[in-house]
Structure 1
Amino acid sequence: MEKNILNTNVITQIGIMVKDIEKTSQVFANFFGVETPEAFWTDELDKARTEYKGSSTKARARLAFFNMGSLQLELIQPDENPSTWREFLDEKGEGVHHIAFEVKGLTEKIKIMESKNMPLVQKGEFDGGRYAYMDTNNDLKVILELLEID
């Protein structure tokens, strides 16, 4: 058996693409009997340094997070700029976009995954860390997000 590429098997987040984050957040909050989280916009390009398919993009998304014990549900409503978020919503509609794992050594993990024909689709930064979406659809049937937290 091959060594665990990510050095973890703990899923930390499930990302769900939505068309209306306010409405969907309220439905989730009602279902789970919790408060509705406030949705917020991701940072602009100068801070987020977002790249999609190797090119800089102004893509942003509204996010809302539900902390559900050891797992976080992330609702994502993309803007119209090119991104994995926009592509997913346009091509597949609403639904599960990714599962995320917290990793150490993000750059190294990206290189390892790319060597296994799992290319980087999008990457960016946020306060306290950075992320990378890897196209693992052919093998794993879902996008993997790698999160590196400072």
Structure 2
Amino acid sequence: MEKAFDHLGIAVRNIDETLPFYLHVLGGVLMDRYTAETKGVEVHVAAIRVGDMHVELLEPTNRESPIARFMRQKGQGVHHVAYRVPNLEQAIEEAKREGVRFYEETLRINARGRRLIYMHMASTSGTLIELCEYP
């Protein structure tokens, strides 16, 4: 199945302090801004287009969110790489046939309708990879 780069998720302490760099220095355009309140997500998101690339700044909304835990361990920076697929269920099944494991609890629809799941980092040599499908 064809996969295409979709976005980078970047963990930040404060979106308002980080946005000027992406907007003014890199020349990005703020496409959307929202809060995901789903348990196990809890994050403010700023979606930015920089050229033909999409970046999501992710600011945790509580100390126990996955982004907050990530930043305690690794600091700010790239949290995940996302790839768009035309059919999420099919992409999951194909990957599982190749021995890829998933964080099954991450399968969900986000606040903007994107369906997604994260691959287990043991299957990806340590990189958190999201597969996503748009409605």
**Which amino acid in 2 is paired with 1:22?**
D
Look up the match of 2:20. Answer: 26
- Whether the 8 Å CA contact 2:31–2:48 is kept in 1: the answer is yes
Aligned match for 1:7, one of 2, 9, 18: 2
Q: Give the superposed CA RMSD.
A: 2.5
Look up the match of 1:118. Answer: 101
User: 1:14 is paired with a residue of what secondary structure?
Assistant: strand
1 CA distance for matches of 2:22 and 2:118? 24
User: 2:13 is paired with a residue of what secondary structure?
Assistant: coil
Give the superposition deviation at 1:99: 0.9
- TM, length-normalised to structure 2: 0.79
2 CA distance for matches of 1:83 and 1:137? 21
- Whether the 8 Å CA contact 1:59–1:81 is kept in 2: the answer is no
Alignment of 1:94-109 (within 5 A): 94-109=76-91
Alignment of 1:36-115 (within 5 A): 39-42=33-36, 44-45=37-38, 57=39, 59-80=41-62, 82-114=64-96
Look up the match of 2:133. Answer: 148
CA deviation vs aligned residue, 1:47-90 (integer Å, no higher than 9, x gap): xxxxxxxxxx2532111111123320110011226443232122
**Which amino acid in 2 is paired with 1:39?**
R
2 CA distance for matches of 1:78 and 1:37? 19
Look up the match of 1:49. Answer: none
Question: How many pairs were matched up?
Answer: 132
Give the superposition deviation at 1:113: 3.3
User: 1:86 is paired with a residue of what secondary structure?
Assistant: helix
- Whether the 8 Å CA contact 1:113–1:119 is kept in 2: the answer is no
Aligned match for 1:130, one of 115, 119, 131: 115
Identity, in percent, stands at: 23
The 1:119–1:33 alpha-carbon spacing in structure 2 relative to 1, beyond 3 Å, is closer
The answer for unaligned runs of 5 or more in structure 1 is 1-5, 46-56
User: 1:72 is paired with a residue of what secondary structure?
Assistant: strand
Greater strand content: 2
The answer for unaligned runs of 5 or more in structure 2 is none
Structure 1 consecutive aligned stretches of length 4 or more whose deviation exceeds 4 Å: 34-38
